[in-house]
């Protein structure tokens, strides 16, 4: 060690973790960094694994925030909910930027290990499905790939039985005087909510007089902001997929790009998008 080298112990930094919780202990890095097991010799498989694992970690945080935001909205604690929704948008922004790393993998490189993936696919990501369900895109048929896992099935079914984030927003808006249609407020929450003219007219009142309805106006714009980022995620995904596998079928068995393009049409908060046309 040269005399210029920094020695953390001199300034009093702790260096003995034999009996104290260290950084690795707290973050369980042994488990986290011990979970990357490529099953081929392909150099790029590590990128592929880490890209998916980091996405799953960010999704985990998104679920944590979305659930808490929904709970806060139901309790009319709108300011903290707004902060959480802003964070979820930033998470999706992060996920959107992450595609740039994956795009450095060419089709030739991916073919070195694609066949080793078998039938596994992001289509079976239960956290992704949970996010879709939480937000209100509730296709019960997407439970099927999880039938072999009772715990995950129970988790997703419980989510389907719970009002979505948007349901809670519409209920709040109704309590705050917007008068949402009874059929929408008492709808079967297991299903996806579809565009409703009266809901759009209610939002129209908010957008035509933001000052008089500031809280709902701000909340609505937070939702639009988030859906905007989510749409960009779907778009980045399908573009990356086309770039890497062209129009091949997906490992999960769908038409691949054709399936993902169909998903671009999903509208989570349909009235908030349509209201713009009538202003
Ligand atoms: C080279 C990289 C990738 C390729 C070629 C790819 C390909 C595909 C394809 C073809 C599908 C349609 C389902 C199927 O038949 O398999 C799909 C779905 C999906 N992928 Fe990817 N994917 C890639 C990267 C990722 C990454 C990094 C994530 C992040 C977690 C991800 C998450 C998902 C999810 C959540 C779905 C289901 C989407 C839905 O149901 O709307 N994919 N992927």
DSSP 195-248: --HHHHHHHHHHHH-GGGGHHHHHHHHHHHHHHHHHHHHHHHHHHHHHHHHTTP
39 is in an annotated binding site: no
Pocket test for ligand 1, best of 57, 121, 230, 245 (most atoms within 8 A of CB): 121
User: In the block, which residue shows the tokens 């595609």?
Assistant: 99
The pLDDT value recorded for residue 9 is 85
CA of 150 relative to ligand 1 center, distance in Å: 23
Q: How far apart are CA 96 and CA 240, in angstroms?
A: 11
Q: Using an 8 Å Cβ cutoff, are 105 and 48 in contact?
A: yes
Of all protein residues, the one whose alpha carbon is nearest to atom 28 of ligand 1 is 52
CA of 167 relative to ligand 1 center, distance in Å: 28
Pocket test for ligand 1, best of 123, 124, 134 (most atoms within 8 A of CB): 123
- Residue-wise pLDDT for 228-279, tens only, equals 999 999 999 999 999 999 999 999 999 999 999 999 999 999 999 999 999 9
Q: How far apart are CA 132 and CA 164, in angstroms?
A: 10
240 is in an annotated binding site: no
If residue 263 lies in a helix (H) or strand (E), which one and from where to where?
helix 257-263
Cβ of 265: how many Cβ atoms within 10 Å? Answer: 7
52 is in an annotated binding site: yes
- Residue-wise pLDDT for 100-145, tens only, equals 999 999 999 999 999 999 999 999 999 999 999 999 999 999 999 9
Closest CA to 202 of 223, 173, 222, 182: 173
Of all protein residues, the one whose alpha carbon is nearest to atom 19 of ligand 1 is 122
Burial-class residue 260 by CB neighbours within 10 Å (0-12, 13-18, 19+): buried
Cβ of 6: how many Cβ atoms within 10 Å? Answer: 8
Q: How far apart are CA 140 and CA 23, in angstroms?
A: 41
Burial-class residue 197 by CB neighbours within 10 Å (0-12, 13-18, 19+): exposed
Q: Which residues are near ligand 1 (CB < 6 Å)?
A: 51-52, 55, 102, 110, 121-123, 125, 128, 237, 240-241, 244-245, 250-254, 256, 259-260, 263
Does position 2 have pLDDT exceeding 80, yes or no?
no
pTM above 0.95, yes or no: yes
What's the chain's average pLDDT? 97
Question: Which CATH number applies to 43-167+184-245+255-278: 1.20.58.480, 1.10.760.10, 1.10.10.10, 1.10.390.10?
Answer: 1.20.58.480
Does position 3 have pLDDT exceeding 90, yes or no?
no
- HSE (CB half, 13 Å, CA atoms) of 5? 4
Compute the C-alpha angle 24/27/33, nearest 5°: 75
Ligand 1 atom nearest 142 alpha carbon? 40
Ligand 1 atom nearest 114 alpha carbon? 5
Q: How far apart are CA 119 and CA 134, in angstroms?
A: 26
Does position 158 have pLDDT exceeding 90, yes or no?
yes
114 is in an annotated binding site: yes
Does position 69 have pLDDT exceeding 70, yes or no?
yes
Closest CA to 173 of 192, 138, 136, 198: 198
Does position 1 have pLDDT exceeding 70, yes or no?
no
Of all protein residues, the one whose alpha carbon is nearest to atom 2 of ligand 1 is 241
CA of 66 relative to ligand 1 center, distance in Å: 22
The pLDDT value recorded for residue 232 is 98
Q: Using an 8 Å Cβ cutoff, are 278 and 204 in contact?
A: yes
């Amino acid at each position: 060690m040269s005399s210029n080298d920094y020695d953390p112990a001199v300034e009093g930094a702790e260096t003995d973790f034999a009996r104290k919780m260290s950084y690795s202990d707290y973050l369980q890095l042994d488990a986290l960094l011990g979970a990357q097991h490529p099953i081929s010799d392909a150099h790029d498989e590590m990128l592929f694994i880490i890209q998916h694992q980091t996405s799953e970690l960010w999704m985990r945080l998104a679920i944590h925030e979305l659930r808490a935001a929904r709970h806060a909205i139901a309790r009319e604690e709108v300011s903290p909910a707004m902060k959480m929704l802003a964070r979820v948008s930033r998470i999706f922004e992060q996920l959107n930027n992450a595609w740039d790393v994956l795009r450095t993998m060419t089709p030739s490189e991916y073919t070195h290990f694609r066949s080793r993936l078998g039938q596994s696919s992001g289509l079976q990501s239960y956290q992704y499905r949970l996010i879709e369900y939480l937000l209100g895109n509730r296709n019960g048929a997407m439970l099927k790939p999880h039938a072999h896992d009772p715990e995950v099935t129970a988790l997703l079914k419980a989510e389907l039985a719970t009002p979505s984030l948007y349901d809670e927003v519409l209920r709040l808006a109704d309590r705050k005087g917007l008068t949402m249609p009874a059929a929408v407020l008492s709808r079967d929450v297991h299903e996806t909510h579809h565009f409703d003219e009266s809901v759009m007219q209610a939002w129209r009142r908010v957008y035509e007089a933001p000052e008089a309805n500031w809280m709902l106006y701000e909340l609505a714009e937070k939702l639009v902001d988030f859906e905007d980022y989510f749409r960009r995620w779907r778009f980045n995904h399908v573009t990356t997929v086309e770039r890497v596998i062209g129009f091949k079928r997906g490992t999960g068995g769908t038409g691949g790009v054709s399936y993902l393009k169909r998903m671009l049409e999903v509208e989570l908060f349909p009235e908030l998008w349509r209201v713009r046309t009538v202003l």
